[in-house]
Amino acid sequence: MTALNDSALAGKVVLISGGTQGLGAACARTAARCGAEAVVVTGRNPEKAEALLDEIAEMGADGMVVRADVSVVEDAQNTVAATIEAYGRIDCVVNAAGITTRGTLLDTTPELFAEHINTNLRGPFFIMQAAVQDMIARGASGSIVNVLSMSAHGGQPFIAPYVASKAGLAAATKNAAHAHRADRIRINGLNIGWTATPGEDAIQKRFHDADDSWLSEAATKVPFGRIGDPDEIADMIVFLLSDASGIVTGSVIDWDQIVMGAFD
């Protein structure tokens, strides 16, 4: 259960990219629980999408899935256009879609680099652009949260293109927030740390030869005895989307149990 007020997003139309599984799906459920009028999610898995829509409907929100590959600019823009066509406006955006395919400075190909930039930076940028254009055209306030990464501070050597893309999105978040303060559009980012999602499970098994015990082993390596949970991160994201976070804009918040810049 969420600790947020059940009317935190009352009457809002919310778009969540990458919303059919993991953190995106957690954000969709939390937004619906917190009173959103409509929750639009993007994704490429119709079975997961339909199951999520059923959950959203049970919570009293309308729901819609837009099939999209956000690495394609036209698809990214269409997620906003489809939301506006269906509901007449867009109030909130969560850019949660992303990839973390491994690559170092030495072995990253131009194709792998482009894949990260297109999915993790270009797609969110043009979703922000289209959403802000709608908000300004209506003279309405709005709120956007970009899902970033602790790796944007520098990260590990084996995720070089991922680091570059997330660091770029962190700077774009601040730039857009500054540019549209006077429009009363708030734009913030969340640097999330190691999180237990289906995507992370697949990455651990594909690139690190992990077995099904990797999550319990990971818990022994971190101070709080567990890694991040999507539902609690979703609470923070919806808090930032909502009026409960006040006038906060241009903030990139570290959501992790590692304190960047500190050492023993």
> Does residue 18 come out as left (phi exceeding 0), alpha (psi in the -120 to 50 range) or beta?
left
Q: Is residue 136 part of a domain?
A: yes
Could you tell me if residue 87 is inside a domain? yes
126 domain-assigned: yes
Task: Give CA separation, 185 vs 25, 110, 144, 251, 258, in Å.
Answer: 24, 35, 8, 13, 30
Angle between helices 160-179 and 123-138 (to 10 degrees): 10
Residue at 18 is within a domain: yes
| pLDDT band of 251, cuts 50, 70, 90 | very high
Per-residue pLDDT band at 201 (split at 50, 70, 90): low
Q: Is the per-residue pLDDT at 218 higher than 80?
A: no
Residue 2 has pLDDT above 60, yes or no: no
Query: What is the overall mean pLDDT for the chain?
Result: 92
Least confident of 33-47, 60-74, 85-99, 196-210: 196-210
CATH of the domain at 84: 3.40.50.720
Contact of 36 with 5, CB cutoff 8 Å: no
Query: Among 54-58, 94-98, 196-200, 246-250, where is mean pLDDT lowest?
Result: 196-200
Identify whether 6 is part of a domain.
Answer: no
In a domain, 101, yes or no: yes
Whether 250 has a pLDDT exceeding 80, the answer reads yes
Dihedral sign for Cα atoms in the order 164, 232, 199, 256: positive
Q: Could you tell me the residue range of the domain that residue 141 belongs to?
A: 13-193+228-253
Enzyme catalytic residues? 149, 162, 166
All residues at 6 or more sequence positions from 211 whose CB lies less than 8 Å from its CB, including other chains: 205
pLDDT at 202: 73
pLDDT in tens, 4-21: 788 999 999 999 999 888
For residue 209, being part of any structural domain is answered with no
Q: Is 209 left (phi over 0), alpha (psi -120 to 50) or beta?
A: left
Nearest to 90 by CA among 102, 82, 99: 82
Residue % of the chain over a pLDDT of 90: 75
pLDDT in tens, 136-158: 999 999 999 999 999 999 999 99
Question: For the chain, how big is the Rg over CA atoms in Å?
Answer: 18
pTM (two decimals): 0.92
Read off the pLDDT band of 206 (50, 70, 90): confident
Question: What is the average per-residue pLDDT within 216-244?
Answer: 89
For residue 215, being part of any structural domain is answered with no
Question: End-to-end alpha-carbon separation of the chain, Å?
Answer: 36
How confident is residue 1, by pLDDT bands cut at 50, 70 and 90?
very low
> What pLDDT score was predicted for residue 244?
95
Give the rounded percent of residues in the chain with a pLDDT score beyond 70.
97
Give the pLDDT of residue 170. Answer: 98
What pLDDT is attached to residue 225?
Answer: 87
Count of domains in the chain? 1
What average pLDDT score do residues 167-193 get?
97
Q: What's the average model confidence in pLDDT over 235-256?
A: 97
What's the mean pLDDT in 201-220? 75
pLDDT for res 205: 73
* Mean local confidence (pLDDT), 183-198: 88
Give the whole-angstrom CA distance, residue 168 versus residue 173: 9
What is the pLDDT confidence band of residue 227, given thresholds at 50, 70 and 90?
confident
